């Protein structure tokens, strides 16, 4: 319901007003007695539907845009995780290899400790140990377990004597390898979560790890 007031005081009519009452002789449409008109336009359902439809489309576009941005962020995070996994796998395998060389030479080569080759191999091992420590910068139990195992093995290698049994050191190295593997598998699980592998939407699995393996 709308009310419109028209000021027609500036208009002139020969009758002196817009209408004259026959019974009272009163003139309507003058400054003293203006005429008010009320216009009832009703509800414009077409305009309401158009507005609601526009609002729904705007919400859908906003949600779609947010979803695309979220997926892009998750893809970027998974890429960073992949690079991290590659670097950790490379450092850990090289560290285990260097430890193996040191362990065998300490047992088999007389007066190996202190030799130029020993110094060079220990230098490589220490560099790799520091790289692993930087890659495992989190303060969790798995990271602490890996670093403690590395330090224990390095001390055992340094204390190993010529012709001394080194089976316990290789056993510790095998345990360290399993710790590295568990860390890499945990990172792979994080990547799968980022990419939505095996995640269900409305009961439907969009991306399956099993199908990817079959391919």
pLDDT digits (tens, 9 = 90+) for 15-25: 445 555 556 65
pLDDT(90) > 90:
yes
pLDDT of residue 148: 95
* Mean per-residue pLDDT, 84-110: 94
Determine the pLDDT at residue 64.
75
Residue 90 sits in the same domain as residue 9: no
103 and 194 fall within a common domain: yes
| 94 shares a domain with 159 | yes
pLDDT surpassing 50 at residue 214: no
pLDDT value of position 39: 60
- Joined together, the tokens standing for residue 202 give 């409305």
Indicate whether 136 and 194 sit together in one domain.
Answer: yes
- What average pLDDT does the structure give for the chain? 78
SS3 letters for the chain? Answer: CEEEECCCCCCCCCCCCCEECCCCCCEECCCCCCCEEEECCCCCHHHHHHHHHHHHHHHHHHHHHHHHHHHHHHHHHHHHHHHHHHHHHHHHHHHHHHHHHHHHHHHHCCCCCCCHHHHHHHHHHHHHHHHHHHHCCCCCHHHHHHHHHHHHHHHHHHHCCCCCCCHHHHHHHHHHHHHHHHHHHHHHHHHHHHHCCCCEECCEECCCHHHHHHC
Show the domain range for 104: 82-214
- The answer to whether position 19 is within a domain reads yes
For 169-198, the pLDDT digits (tens) are: 999 999 999 999 999 888 878 777 766 655
Question: 146 vs 198, which has greater pLDDT?
Answer: 146
- Is residue 162 very low, low, confident or very high in pLDDT (cuts 50, 70, 90)? very high
64 within domain boundaries: no
Residue 207 reports pLDDT greater than 80: no
Residues 38 and 99 in one domain: no
CB-side neighbour CA atoms (13 Å) of 47:
4
Percent of the chain with pLDDT over 70: 64
């Amino acid at each position: 319901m709308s009310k419109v007031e028209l000021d027609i005081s500036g208009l002139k009519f020969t009758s002196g007003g817009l209408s004259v009452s026959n019974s009272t002789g009163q003139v309507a449409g003058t400054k003293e007695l203006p005429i008010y008109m009320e216009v009832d336009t009703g509800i414009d359902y077409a305009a309401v539907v158009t507005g609601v439809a526009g609002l729904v489309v705007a919400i859908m576009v906003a949600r779609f845009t947010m979803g695309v941005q979220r997926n892009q962020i998750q893809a970027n995070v998974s890429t960073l995780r992949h690079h991290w996994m590659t670097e950790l796998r490379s450092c850990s395998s090289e560290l285990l290899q260097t430890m193996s060389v040191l362990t065998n030479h300490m047992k088999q080569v007389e007066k190996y400790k202190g030799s130029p080759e020993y110094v060079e191999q220990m230098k490589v091992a220490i560099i790799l140990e520091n790289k692993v420590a930087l890659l495992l910068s989190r303060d969790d139990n798995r990271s602490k377990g890996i670093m403690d195992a590395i330090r224990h093995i390095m001390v055992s290698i340094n204390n190993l004597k010529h012709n001394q049994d080194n089976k316990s050191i290789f056993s510790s190295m095998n345990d360290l390898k399993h710790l590295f593997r568990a860390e890499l598998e945990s990172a792979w699980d994080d990547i799968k979560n980022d990419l939505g592998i095996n995640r269900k939407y409305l009961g439907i699995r969009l991306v399956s790890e099993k199908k990817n393996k079959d391919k």
